[in-house]
Structure 1
Amino acid sequence: MQRQPSAPVPGALKVPVDGAAHETKVGAALEYITDAVILLRHDWTIEFVNVAFERACGKTRETLLGTHYWTTFPNIMGPRFESEARSAMTAGTAHMYDEFSPRLNKWFECRAFPWEEGLVILFIDITMRKADELTRVDMEEKLVRIQRMESLGTLAGGVAHDFNNILAAILGHAGMMLEELPEGSPLRDHMQQIKRAGDRAREIVQRILAYARGGSQELSKYQLAPLVEDSIGLLRSTLPPTVRLTVDLSGDGCVATVDPAEVQQVVLNLCTNAWQAMPGGHGHLHVGLRAVQFDVPHAFVIGRVGPTRYAELCVRDDGQGMSAEVAGRLFEPFFTTKPRGQGTGLGLHIVNGIVHAHGGAIDVQSHPGRGTLFSIYLPIVDEAAPIDAATLAKVAEPGEGESVVYVDDDPIVLMMVEALLKKAGYDVRSYADPRGFLDDVEQGRVSLQLLITDYNMPGMNGLELAVAVRGTLPRLPVIITTGYIADELTAAADQMGAVAVLQKERSFEELVELAARALRGFPESRFQESGLAPL
């Protein structure tokens, strides 16, 4: 409750009007103001403070009146307050500005007005308003980051389409050359190097897509040690020479159901954060992989593990470590301790999402000045049975002149796929224009048993083409190749039935096999015998 004085207030503001009654009324009015008010003389002695000022500074009026302001309140406000207040006093002009008080932990809007005997300063508490403004700015920055990520996803999708066309041609021609070259030919080594480079480029594109799109990938059983080893190979090119890296991948039996690109993303994110936490980029980074057995359920910082075997991936550094407060917010989206513009705050949030999607858990141990240890736990599964090469060869036996149409607007890929399918024994007819092919189908100018089409084409995409062709040939099997397999495309293909979706840059390795399967009505049972997952 506000104080309601009935007598003249000591040190009340004196106004140049007639008498004590007006003086008392002015002082009483100032007492009702909920914002802090102080009157200062030209020599900076305190002439008057209201009740709100007493409450704000925690001192009584009796102890304040007549004292020197700068002695009584050293460093109560920031440097701008002193500069602006002194300027208002000296120049005799009003000054208004915002200032933060570290001692009070509050923001104030300060309004300094000169009067004939000195200065009147009004302190308006705007802490809540500042908090709202900071929240709004923070949300706007987060929105910009999200929009950048969406833009990156769109850009990556476009780049993947064009780049995967190039990769499909490189890998396809390299593969056919390797099949044609005799053993002992000096050209075989060169073609194998071309194929290895293409495979590496393919993995990088898929990793960029997985990061930018955040889409789920098909999970399969993999040995984790080779995936971690490949990630370390990528990491070495970015590590400063002042970071000593040690690796212990003794977990040969660590087989898990994972997406390889996402596992590598986890390793790279954790390792990058680790070496960036080292003062001056100097320190020791250790990466380890082993199998561990839990006999009872156990809860970690993120997730729980059951009484079974897990692959434990550890990333340890001897950097500056973290406080408990920072560690508690590590996995929040957009939280970062890095300077503005040097971190998105998404790395560990993405790691959390990947580990959660794989049914795993995360543990973090860190102490200021003593480094940090991240431990990732992924459930171990039985190793996949080896594929029966004889059964696989039977499934993918050569064609017998079946009529196949391939549609793609990219002439380089068109030439490669046409040669690949002809070599496999199919009667192939190619089209660069989907509408021209559709006209031929509708006019009965082309007969075919299988349609293979690119997805990203101008004017009509592969899915739209398949739907249109099915209007004339309702039972025609279709294979759609694409640089990025989106969930929407997969769902649409499943709904149509007898439509398979193939990663375009894997055309050489899988297209002939998939064509044989499509022409046989997609017999899943035969592929299950071979150990291949049905599409």
Structure 2
Amino acid sequence: MIEVLQALGDGNPAISLAPLFDAMLEGVVVRDAHGRVVGCNRMARRILGLPSGDLLAGGLLAPMPDYLREDDSILRLDEHPANLTLSSGEALHGVVLGVVRAAGEICWINLNSQPLRDTDGALVGVVETFADITPMKSAQAALRAAEAHNRTLAAAIAQAGCAVVVTDRHGRIEYVNPACCRAYGYAEEELLGAKPSIFKSGETSAEVYAELWQTILAGRVWCGELSNRSRDGCLIRESVSVAPLRDEAGVVRHFVAVKEDITQMRAEERRRHELFERVARLERMELVATLSSGIAHDFNNVLVAILGYSELADAHLKVDGRLPRVEGYIDEIRIAGNRARGLIQQLLDFSRSGTAQPRLTQLESVGREAVGLLRATLPDSVAVIDEIERDLPALSVDPAHVYQIIMNLLVNARDAVNGRGTIRVGARRVLAADCPVCASCRREFDGEFIVLSVSDNGCGIPLSNRSRLFEPFFTTKEPGRGTGMGLPVVHGMTHLYDGHVRIESEPGGGTRVEVLLPVVLTQVPGIDSPTALGA
């Protein structure tokens, strides 16, 4: 090689340094002033993928490979750095080229071209030195791909609809995505360094949190639901997945939590469940009403015979001479028969098989008549307070139905105070807003109503019994004191007029029952004479 360089110069002989050039770790190619290759070392042949040995043929290194730019386009021969140096006389450094080897594989090199001049400064050739940078290029490509992948991943997390929280092993927040900030109403800087307990609502038990930490500290993924609270106090129900993040050694260093807001979904599920319960309840009550109607008519025929023969037996005893004991038995038969007849009437009323005779009725008159009747049967230790407003509009209802509704509620209140307490009976005109829910049919309602209310300060209704209050024959009273038909009858008669029922009760704190009859019942054409019960 040194002989080649010397030959290009002044032609003086020199000591052969070819073994030194062959030992170099860089490829070296020498060209004359015409661009012909006149020499190369062993590393050049290896990098360029050329056969070993003397490859000089007519002053050319044959065959020369194709070169590529960094954008993978073909490099023209006149654009090769050696030719550019020969044409300009300027050295070029750090030019990255791709070498297309004979097998089609590409080797990337970092090439420098240096002009060679004689003692007079005339350009006599160029020397190229280059190093194989293929591993570095591969690493750079892998790095760029990894960076692009990480950018995509970061963008996906940042733009995700679910809240993402990354904490260290001790639970301090190191990252939150914008969805998390939107969900909880905090700025990012407020959350960084804080702990997820900032979201706690108090609705999730300590046992759930203990299980969560036990699971993730053991290196496993925890999935479940948590109730958290936003900055403005709104409760958020979330489906949460918390996973441990390990380092290269497999040690858990961080935790990532992905949270999906399922508040609306759970609310929809509750509404669907309530709707299902409402439909099931109505279907059950309709079924009982149908059965009750059929049973009541048949049983009523049996009662006619029982009561009729009781009257005949009593009449014969009076003719033949009194037998006090037998007469007492017959009296008990008549009492039981009349009680059964009253129950049958309630069943018929509940099934709506009775004939309603609506007419304009003054509710305050019916209410005060019922209060007067109840007072006559109560001891002095029970106070009945009349809170019925005056000048209420007359409603087009059957006064017998209104009377029975009020009496059923009064009897329940009487039994609740158990001989000592206060019963209040009220009636007023109200506007129902915010869509309250009927206690018996479970529908929401609104509008203007006349409210009949009966309240007491008695024993109250246990929470476990609230859902069954309107089931026929369900009663919490001791045997002989209740049939379980009072509130079902109230339900049937109230809804006959598109009304609704509301109940407020606390165990040991009394009960208040409201029957709401719509004011539109006043709009009945052709009726102009309000009546009270029996008018």
Bigger proportion of residues as strand: 2
- Structure 1 or 2, whichever has the larger Rg, is 2
Higher relative contact order (CA 8 A, sep 6+): 1
Q: What TM-score do the two structures reach when normalised by structure 1?
A: 0.47
